[in-house]
Structure 1
Amino acid sequence: MSAPPTAAAARRAYLVVLALRWLPTGLMVPIFVLLMTGRGLSLAEVGVAAAAQGVAIVVFELPTGGLADAIGRRPVLVLSSLVATAGLALLLVADDVTTFALAWAVMGVYRALDSGPLEAWFVDAALAAEPDRRLEHDLTRAGVVLGLSLAVGAVAGGALGAAVAGRDGVAATEPLTAMVAAALVLEVVHLVAVLILVRERRPARGLGAAVRAARATPTVVRAALDVMRRDRGLLALLGVEVLWGVGLTGIERFWQPRAAELLDGAVDDLFVLGLLGAAGWLAHAGGAALLPPLLRLVGGRTEWAAALLRILQGAAVLGLALVGGFTGLVIAYVAVYVAHGASNPAHEALLHRRVAAAERATVLSANSLVSQGSGALGGIALGVLAGAAGIPVTWAVTAAILAAAAPLYLVRGTPRAARISLPTDSDRRPTAPAGVTAGPGEQQ
């Protein structure tokens, strides 16, 4: 059996796999709604198809998180990538609401499988190598990589779609199909990276061990649920995720149609959509890089930084609601994702400090479950509101929902307080692995 990785080596592998995991998603960002409407679905049918993903996530999230804790992170990561490949293949050929719903349900299973194992693998490997390692910087760097990967994917996808659309005799849906096909190829590359880079030490091997570990999943899930029930602080963090899930759905579901309104319907320009999507995710990366100085500003109190960021994100969404032109939309949209990028590592660091390694992937899955479940239900309600009152009013409600989550970060819970101190200059050692104290260091 190979030696366990150093914390620096684990971080390098984590960031490479993370980047490849989000590239295919970046390609899909500009065309999520357009792919379905371009193939004949109404906006109501788009809502039904998208809801299938949320249902699948709710059904599979906790069991698959427990499976990762039971049989290991690497096998579940491999399985999740295979499921994603199948889902993208279905999206490639889907042409009615039933097939799209099936495709998004498969992608929901993928999201459930994918929500915890990679980050849990890295955190466990890093803390095994360095028990006192400060995770904020690593998670911040991961947020930067995630945002850059999504941005690169969005721009590349938009450029690919525009290039295909520029050819003579091309059907209206062919550029969208080309972008899905590219995402499918990149998902296969991601699978190869998982097989090569994610190494895990487990006490037993073989099919029998996998079956025994899989049977242990309900026990692991019950243990994690018991942790949540006993820790008010952890429950409060999950409450944040409920409100955050609704808020994020309100942003992501309506930016394309709102851009169409402000551009007089010119949103069929895939390159413009790609650039706007990339701007948001570059802002996400920049926001992640801003977390360390913000932590210094609040004296290392991660919970206070997280609460402040939730209020700032709500204010930025209110800006989206109030602006009347495309330039203002872009500025507010970027501000939303700056706050989002800084919020992710802060929230994740607070979450990790409240759980032990044995329940880590399950609790991360619970965090994702409440976000996706609330997002699916909230998306339906916000869709009705948008149809009745318009997108600006819907965004004003979304802003209030996001800001309402801020006080939940200050719930103390158990004596294991959710406070993570930031390293001072005197704490830093010249021999520390690169990136531990350098500032920039997810996921949804």
Structure 2
Amino acid sequence: MTARSALRRYLLVCFLTWLPAGLMLTSMVLLMAERGLTLAEIGLVFTVFSLVTVCLELPTGGLADVVGRRVVLAVSAGFTVAALALMAVSTTFWMFLLTGVLKGVARALSSGPATAWYVDTLHDLEGPGADLKPGLARGGALESVALCVGVLAGGFVPLVAPGHLVLPLAVPPMLGALAAAVLLVVVVLALPEPSHARLPLDGMLRAVPATVAASVRLVTGHVVLRRLVVFYLVSGMVLTAIELLTPGRLAQLAGTAERGSAAYAVVAALGFAGSAVGSALAPWAARTAGGSARGGAAGVVLTALSVGVLAATAGLDGAAGLVGAGGAYVVMFVGMSVTFVLCLEMTHDAVPAAQRTAVSSAGSLAQQAGGAVSNLGFGVLAGQTGVAAAWALAATLAGVSALVFVGMPRSDRTRAGRDGKRPAASRKAAQ
């Protein structure tokens, strides 16, 4: 396998991993409501999904580091197929609750192994000094493209689906299950496992908790990883505050819930497109700013300014408010995606292969935890003081989180300290 071939396979997996999520996004809540669930029951389904994901993030990350990336990715794809197929035919609260559990398991399993596979494969082919930014940036861009395509397709397919055969709102999760089945085949056939030590089954079972514990010690004891976890925590709070309050604000501006839903589908698709642009711009941002940490800080500053503009649009009505809010939303995702790609690079530069996925899962866990706090706090704040105040606080938090990157050691020094080797010249040139 060549580096180019590994990149193509990684990009295909990135796209197929997130396409099912995009397909089900716009119809999921409406489908549950159509099948008779109350808002409280729908909220409980989402809560169960989040709890399962949070509880399994670190164990499944350790599992991927021990048994292999391909196995865990394949199991994740299988759970996604089961979850979305069940969602399409669910008719009761308990059936939808089970889909939340299955989706949570799938999400936790998929958090990190694909990127770990690509990094390990590239290191096998080009050595530990291989430049990770271009591949990770393209992977992030393809994930956003998949979400954008999925949201648009999932939003408009019910309009043309034959209602006499199946409930139109059930078609998007059916398509998502089909996409996940394709992912399963691709993972099994196209992702050869990078070199790593094989253990007997009993050794694997003992190694998983040991790997998780070692990863926690690594994160808490490493200055770069500690700072990145703080950033992920804050970013989870900011992003959730935006996603929580944007649909209602757009519905208010559009005039009706139906128009607001359509407006949100378009804005969400544009946001994912902005995220793809931000991911593609990440290497350029690092070169221009003079390093990954500085590029990450620049992305956070752009995010904070965009959220501030979003807060300012809360005083506008009609088309002006709709365009202003939508534009700020898109630019926010550009900035945040620049930072996410560079954070991913810094994480993998600081982590040995044996703990790569578990440490990545720690960042995902921090982001989920921040989102949980945001769901509670920002909802209450917006209800008492208005959307503008909530978004202003989110903008302030985003701006303060840029301090995480100030004085952060360069990733090339981190790798040199870990491996005892000088990084390749391409790494220095990229920074």
Q: TM-score, normalised by structure 1?
A: 0.85
| Counterpart secondary structure, 2:26 | helix
Partner of 1:230: 221
Query: Which position in structure 1 is the counterpart of 2:142?
Result: 145
Q: Which amino acid aligns with 2:190?
A: L
Listed as ranges, the matches of 1:68-147 within 5 Å are: 68-131=64-127, 132-147=129-144
Describe the superposition over 1:297-334 as per-residue Cα deviations: whole angstroms up to 9, x where unpaired: 212x1111111211211221222222122111211111
The counterpart of 1:369, out of the listed 351, 365, 368, is 365
Q: Report how many aligned residue pairs link the two structures.
A: 416
Task: State the match for 2:420 in structure 1.
Answer: none
Residue 217 (1) aligns with residue 208 (2): yes
Question: How many Å apart are 1:427 and its aligned residue?
Answer: 6.0
User: Of 291, 296, 310, which aligns to 1:320?
Assistant: 310
In the TM superposition, residue 273 of structure 1 has moved relative to its aligned partner by 4.3
For 1:376-391, list aligned pairs within 5 A: 376-391=372-387
Name the CA distance, whole Å, in 2 between partners of 1:91 and 1:42: 16
- 1:133 is aligned with what amino acid? A
Give the direction of change, closer, same or farther, for the CA distance of 1:42–1:254 in structure 2 (3 Å limit): farther
Cα distance change of structure 1 residues 303 and 204 upon mapping to structure 2, 3 Å threshold: closer
Q: What is the RMSD computed on CA atoms of the aligned residues? A: 2.9
TM-superposed deviation, 1:266: 4.6
Q: Residues 168 and 269 (structure 1 numbering): CA distance in 2 closer, same or farther, change over 3 Å?
A: farther
Amino-acid identity (%): 34
The 1:314/1:28 distance shift into structure 2, 3 A limit, reads farther
Instruction: Give the whole-Å Cα distance in 2 for the aligned partners of 1:211 and 1:344.
Output: 36
Separation in 2, partners of 1:407, 1:427: 29
Q: Select the structure with the greater relative contact order (CA < 8 A; seq sep ≥ 6).
A: 1
Question: Is the helix fraction higher in 1 or 2?
Answer: 2
Contact 2:247 2:261 in 1 (8 A): no
| CA deviation profile, 1:230-265 (whole Å, cap 9, x unmatched) | 212211110111111111111222322222111112
Alignment partner, residue 200 of structure 1: 193
Determine the C-alpha separation between the residues in 2 that align with 1:270 and 1:189: 30
- Which SS does the other structure have where 1:216 is aligned? helix
Show the 5 A alignment for 1:390-429. 390-410=386-406, 412=408, 417=413
Contact 2:292 2:410 in 1 (8 A): no
Cα deviation for residue 76 of structure 1 reads 0.5
TM-score (normalizing by structure 2): 0.88
Of 226, 229, 241 in structure 1, the residue corresponding to residue 232 of structure 2 is: 241
Per-residue deviation, 1:381: 2.3
**Which residue of 1 is the match for residue 419 of structure 2?**
none
Tell me the residue number matched to 1:304: 294
Amino acid at match of 1:316: S
Structure 1 stretches of 5 or more lacking a match?
Answer: 421-425, 429-435, 440-444
Offset, 1:96? 5.0
Give 1:31's aligned amino acid.
S
Task: Name 1:186's counterpart in structure 2.
Answer: 179
Cα distance change on mapping 1:414 and 1:190 into 2, 3 Å? closer
Q: CA deviation at 1:268?
A: 5.6
The answer on 1:277 being equivalent to 2:273 is: no
**Amino acid of the residue matched to residue 173 of structure 2?**
V
User: Relative to 1, partners in 2 of residues 1:427 and 1:232: Cα closer, same or farther, differing over 3 Å?
Assistant: closer
Deviates most, 11-20 or 411-420:
411-420
CA distance in 2, matches of 1:66, 1:369: 13
Contact in 2 for aligned 1:57/1:373 (Cα 8 Å): no
